[in-house]
Amino acid sequence: METQRHARRLGIVAVVFSAEDINWEELTISGVILSAQRWVRKTFPLPKVIYNRIPSRKFENTSTVVECKKRFMDIPGLILFNPSYLNKWETHEHLYKEESVQSILPETRLLKQPDEIWPMLKKYRVIYLKPVNGTKGYGIYRVAVHPAGGFTFQKRRSSMNSLRAYGKQVLESKIRGLIEKKEYIAQRGLRMALINGSPFDIRLLAQKDGQGVWQITKSFGRVAPPGKFTSNLSQGGKAMGILNTLRAASTTRKRRRSAILKELNKWGIMIPELLEESTGMIFGELGLDIALDRNGKIWLLEINSKPFKRLFTEEGDPKQVRLSLERPMAFGRHLDGF
* Stronger pLDDT, 25 or 312, i.e. the higher one: 25
2 pLDDT band, cuts 50/70/90, is: confident
Q: Which CATH class is domain 88-102+192-336?
A: alpha beta
Is residue 6 very low, low, confident or very high in pLDDT (cuts 50, 70, 90)? confident
pLDDT band at 160 (very low <50, low <70, confident <90, very high): low
Handedness of CA 49, 14, 213, 308 (dihedral sign): negative
Residue 315 above 80 pLDDT?
A: no
User: 234: Cβ–Cβ under 8 A, 6 or more apart, which residues?
Assistant: 136, 137, 308
Whether residue 115 is predicted with pLDDT greater than 80 in this model: the reply is yes
At 73-101, the pLDDT tens digits run 999 999 999 999 999 999 999 999 999 99
| Res. 109: pLDDT tops 90 | yes
For the cut 70, the answer to whether the pLDDT of residue 253 exceeds it is no
Torsion of CA 111, 114, 117, 119, to 10 degrees: -110
E strand or H helix at 144: strand 141-145
Confidence of residue 277 (pLDDT cuts 50, 70, 90): very high
- For the segment 58-85, the average pLDDT, to the nearest whole number, is 96
Q: Inform me whether the pLDDT recorded for 255 exceeds 80.
A: no
Q: Using the 8-state DSSP alphabet, how is residue 12 labeled?
A: -
Q: Is 10 exposed, middle or buried (0-12, 13-18, 19+ CB in 10 A)?
A: middle
Residue 238 has pLDDT above 90, yes or no: no
> What's the CA gap between 223 and 301, in Å, rounded?
15
Boundaries of every domain in the chain: 2-81, 88-102+192-336, 108-188
| pLDDT band at 225; cut points 50, 70, 90 | confident
* Mean pLDDT, the chain, integer: 91
Instruction: Tell me: pLDDT of 169 over 90.
Output: yes
- What lies within 8 Å, CB to CB, of 227 at 6+ separation is 159, 160, 161
The larger pLDDT score, comparing residue 164 to residue 21, is at 21
Work out the average pLDDT over 284-303: 95
CA distance 154 to 194: 19
314 pLDDT above the threshold of 60: no
